[in-house]
Amino acid sequence: MDDSGCEMSGDLDSQLFFNEKDGKIDSAAKFDNSVSISRSSSSMSQTPLEYFDIVIVCSLSAVEARKDFMNFAEKQQWKVFLPRREKLVGEDEFKTFKRGYDVSTYIVLLLTPCFEEDVWAVNRFQTALKLAIQEKRSNVIPVLYGLHPTKVPFELTAIANIKREDEFFDHVMKRTIDTNLRKQRQMEYDDESSNLEAVSQDIEVDSMDLAGASYADIFSTMSAEHSPLPNSARFLNPRLFHKLCMALDIPSPNMNGDWRGLATSLNLKSEQITYIESNSRKPGFSATKKVLDVYFQKNKNLDEHSVLSQLQQVFKGMDFGKGIQIMQEALESC
């Protein structure tokens, strides 16, 4: 399809002892009360999240339509996420599009006569429509390029569309695309990120968290992406969000000692837990981040204090001391 379209590294302190036979940390080894995993500000830095006004969906053959709309958008100084241009090496097309959807305010569908012949284009617009309905966002904009209105896909017939050749096209599009929404999201993200980047600090991992964990588990946790989504960042700043992920991502013999206990206590659906479990060992994947993002998204309309208090009560029920402490710090700062 046209548009298809992703490291933090940390060295374990030399105090750690590994069982050469199975690659596990020797739980009988002598640890200090906590093992400090040092991370400089440079090693913690990640590519800053960038927000866009629009993500484009069109068929692979819609070259002229895409060029025309990109030129129009450039004149309006709109920021456009073009999956084919923004994709990362090794990233699958679905992930690229989902990433574009998450960071864009609007989804513009360039509907040409050949649009429905492209299975990838159809899949993307259906995905965008489903997500928009779930999130109650009125952000899908069908633009007709040589397509007769009667040929518009059935799923889009309830959404107002506009023809590119319409005499009021420029006026309508300028009134529809509000760049202030993107600027506000970017500003909120940058403010939260600066809190994390301003401090260079050690992340402490208790020896009880490390006992019995494999090197692969710890490395996977250290290299995982822990940046909160915008809804999550509203409740928990990046530093505390990262700290919580670090505490729960490493598998524990006791289910209440890792993300599984949190997911169960928060009543995530079985299919959500299955999905997270199947991806939990993949490099760069943080199971805790996914659980927290689902929880904060579900409670996005509630006030911060209520949501964090509820989460603290969950950790008390799990008897997870570190989670209780992190929530207390969050509550004191909100």
**Are 55 and 83 contacting, i.e. CB atoms less than 8 angstroms apart?**
yes
Residue-level pLDDT, tens digit, the chain, 334 residues: 444 333 333 332 323 233 333 433 333 333 333 333 333 333 334 457 899 999 999 988 999 999 999 999 999 999 999 988 888 888 888 888 888 888 999 999 999 998 888 888 888 878 877 877 777 778 899 999 999 988 888 888 888 899 999 999 999 999 999 999 999 988 887 776 555 444 334 334 444 444 444 444 444 444 445 667 777 888 888 888 888 988 888 888 887 888 999 999 999 888 888 888 888 777 778 889 899 988 998 898 899 999 999 999 999 999 989 899 999 999 988 7
pLDDT of residue 75: 96
CA 168-169-174 angle, to 5 degrees, is 105
Instruction: Give the separation between CA 223 and CA 203, rounded to whole angstroms.
Output: 13
Instruction: Give the separation between CA 44 and CA 243, rounded to whole angstroms.
Output: 13
Q: Are strands 104-111 and 140-144 parallel, antiparallel or unpaired?
A: parallel
- What CATH architecture does domain 52-184 belong to? 3-Layer(aba) Sandwich (3.40)
Domain boundaries, the chain: 18-47+191-333, 52-184
Q: Are strands 24-25 and 18-19 parallel, antiparallel or unpaired?
A: antiparallel
Scored b (16 or more CB within 10 A) or e, 321-331 reads ebbbebbebbe
SS3 state at 16: coil
CA 72-74-75 angle, to 5 degrees, is 65
Global pTM exceeds 0.75:
no
Instruction: Give the separation between CA 210 and CA 25, rounded to whole angstroms.
Output: 7
